[in-house]
Structure 1
């Protein structure tokens, strides 16, 4: 898009200074008190609320996001602020260890302490929720925080860089803008935790760099999230929910349905249901609709177009592309095989391959022959069918009869397994990720303690004390 704003990148020499400032702030106990944490969390909520329309405009510039999709992301982030504000005191409370007669006198507890200064490298596709969500949890845990937002969403990243210093304490939270050189400089520094959200290719670079400073890393990497369809399911509802999950943000969602596995004899029936759902969503055409986003940039557009051009499957719906608008129509491709171009990588776009298989056992075998996905979707009203798929596969999440909603469901962790990521976040799980569980005992100077545990002292005798 020609009118996309340019980011003013953070000078490389300032990055070490930012790191040192936050390290000093953490040691000074800037966020030691729960009240100070709550103040910053509240300010984050006001940051979004006060600038709601500006964020809507930035989303439209970066991704062509429909107004409702933008509102859902902003409202969800404000909700996350409220949850953290209301619950942080409980989350941070010191826990007593389970009662044990042997150790009760030692008063064993688990202290919930911040890790220190943490770094989050966030992606372009949900540039507020995936940028501010980790920030909320890190602040709630008492950490200082550096955000490196994506250079691929310049309008939103620039807006965050402008607003965060106005609403939050710059001794606690800082934003670093940039691309590869700035990220490389960040990764040269020691961090108390790094959260990276993005591709597996870049994750290997992040992990290799973090290993040099022994910085712990959590990863959210996406992957090819399959949909397994039971032909006896409520197909009309299933088709609407699958198409919605694929079309939100033009498929640029880490947990978007990536491909469908369906018994061969039901392939066309499922495709017809998907086409009907598409017709309901976009009665004229998606490129004429204000309810459909565009691809983030030309590089991702060309990647998707190249995969689509090389497919051996048959395009049953869509297929239209327009580079000048970064537009790719919602596209359904029939008869896709395992070695197809569309199966070579996570699509991260509005293309939906349909892979015919013999039966549910073949679907399970297909899933297990590939990397563990971030999410596995099953559409069925049969408990035995759902359990068979879930019990015989591995994935970050196991979702029946809907798409995407688990990410916003309070109380559920969000994270991958294997190649789809490591660690868990969202709300309390983000707090936990950035929290050090510090074991502590306070052993009294009672004679009875040394009488009970006296055999630990030399000189040792035949008498042995079992802990």
Structure 2
């Protein structure tokens, strides 16, 4: 097989803005044709996407190298292999995800109505990807949209143009063009896309842009999923293992040169363990990059000059002391892993999200005070990473909020492809990955079917109303508390109330028993048909 090379693809070009309404109409019309609803259609698209990606794997790796300097190992680990496995997981489990669900805690008198929850596709959706993991953060939501039976337009990040080019090539040549389209460009093209009426918008990126998108979506009551960044804290208590903390947090910060929304933004560390932690941090850095990071092909570069200058300015603004690293090279967009000891929670390295290989460390003397500091800097980060004893990490989790957490590790919760991932508060809302990707683009539609034979039991709902009917309705529907007026739990008697024997008034109990008998009769009829 002859593999595609990036040089064989057309150059990156923006989609004409005046063509965007027609693109939207095309995918919206396809959805309203109902062709995307059958499982056979969805599976066909997922299978075609898998082979489109698999066949162009070398070009995908090349694109990530060109855009971000990612090594083939890291590109496959966090992007190409991830997306391929995600497609296979969704295709394998799609039938199970699509099945109607039986709701919980349905009263006996309502069971005859066969209450159930359907999973309906939301419609035509817009997906706006990010540059730091351009394949995973663009195609991951797309896989969920396809599985849910939606049509979609993908707008990849213009800051990773090579990844955007190869994704457009694969989607155009693999998927139904009436259902799935790619729009390339920046602010003008995104603005034009936001002028259309979508059934769902999925955005990954900064909180500033997320705010703009949420405001615009609110004008048309369009639901959004926002996957945003966060000033994520790591805690290292005096009972933590300094070697493990150093290795694991350094790995998390070196991945993609720190351009990871879930990597720790800063480290709060008990001053007693700080010397040991710094010692092991130096050893880990030497082990991971024995010849230095600058000439190491395993170490990514910063995405573009604008982001490089932002990081350089952030590093210049700190009043902290550089303990390790600090070297930069604008011509190659290289920033060395840099450890800075800061003295104040108001230091710019803590109050701003670095989104780069900067590792500020703030020592503390009291864990409760450290927790208060983290909550003051950002009360709802995307992730929290506590290292320490069970009691200490439990205390941290119980007194903080975050989209997710990895105890004694750096963002491991975000590296499990089938574990739901999302933010909370300022770090976003909504979740995806695994089954959550299917649910993200589905509507859980409650459905009942009322058979004709229950009409006699439904008579109490029809006018004219009377005290007798109200007593009957109370007997059929009113539940009794399992606690007294002082809030103490009442035990022994709950079963009688469920069966209706505890209802006051013989008429109410009799009506409830009639409902029970009717339901069991219906069950017997269903079993008899089988």
- How high is the TM-score relative to the length of structure 1? 0.96
Instruction: Tell me which of 286, 297, 305 is aligned to 1:279.
Output: 286
- Give the equivalent residue in structure 1 for 2:75: 70
Instruction: Tell me which of 181, 194, 200 is aligned to 1:193.
Output: 200
Root-mean-square deviation over aligned CA pairs: 1.5
Contact residue 30 and residue 172 of structure 1 kept, 8 A:
no
- Give the equivalent residue in structure 2 for 1:310: 317
Q: How does 1:23-422 map to 2 (within 5 A)?
A: 23-72=28-77, 73-98=79-104, 99-371=106-378, 372-380=380-388, 382-422=389-429
Contact residue 262 and residue 359 of structure 1 kept, 8 A:
no
Question: Could you tell which deviates more after superposition, 263-272 or 201-210?
Answer: 263-272
Q: Following the alignment from structure 1 to structure 2, what is the Cα–Cα distance between the partners of residues 267 and 368? A: 22
Return 5+ residue gaps in structure 2 as ranges.
1-6, 478-530
1:301, distance to aligned residue in structure 2 (A): 0.5
Contact residue 189 and residue 213 of structure 1 kept, 8 A:
no
- Give the equivalent residue in structure 2 for 1:460: 465
- Give the equivalent residue in structure 2 for 1:441: 448
Q: Following the alignment from structure 2 to structure 1, what is the Cα–Cα distance between the partners of residues 291 and 415? A: 31
Return 5+ residue gaps in structure 1 as ranges.
none
Partner deviation per Cα, 1:109-160 (whole Å, 9 max, x = no partner) = 1111100001111100001111111111111000001111000000110111
- Secondary structure of 1:145's counterpart equals strand
1:15 correspondence with 2:20: yes
Q: How many residues align?
A: 462
Q: Following the alignment from structure 1 to structure 2, what is the Cα–Cα distance between the partners of residues 462 and 427? A: 53
1:60, distance to aligned residue in structure 2 (A): 0.7
Q: Following the alignment from structure 2 to structure 1, what is the Cα–Cα distance between the partners of residues 303 and 65? A: 11
Greater CA radius of gyration, 1 or 2? 2
Q: Following the alignment from structure 1 to structure 2, what is the Cα–Cα distance between the partners of residues 100 and 148? A: 46
Relative contact order higher in (CA < 8 Å, ≥ 6 apart): 1
- Secondary structure of 1:458's counterpart equals coil
Q: Following the alignment from structure 1 to structure 2, what is the Cα–Cα distance between the partners of residues 49 and 379? A: 39
- Secondary structure of 1:355's counterpart equals strand
Contact residue 351 and residue 377 of structure 2 kept, 8 A:
no
1:6, distance to aligned residue in structure 2 (A): 5.5
- Secondary structure of 1:295's counterpart equals coil
- Secondary structure of 1:7's counterpart equals coil
Q: Following the alignment from structure 1 to structure 2, what is the Cα–Cα distance between the partners of residues 181 and 336? A: 42
Question: Could you tell which deviates more after superposition, 116-125 or 23-32?
Answer: 23-32
Q: Following the alignment from structure 2 to structure 1, what is the Cα–Cα distance between the partners of residues 55 and 176? A: 17
Partner deviation per Cα, 1:283-312 (whole Å, 9 max, x = no partner) = 111111111000001111111100101111
After TM superposition, the runs of 4+ consecutive aligned structure 1 residues lying more than 6 A away are none
Contact residue 82 and residue 417 of structure 2 kept, 8 A:
no
Q: Following the alignment from structure 1 to structure 2, what is the Cα–Cα distance between the partners of residues 121 and 292? A: 26
1:36, distance to aligned residue in structure 2 (A): 1.1
Q: Following the alignment from structure 1 to structure 2, what is the Cα–Cα distance between the partners of residues 213 and 6? A: 35
1:270, distance to aligned residue in structure 2 (A): 1.6
Q: Following the alignment from structure 2 to structure 1, what is the Cα–Cα distance between the partners of residues 456 and 276? A: 77
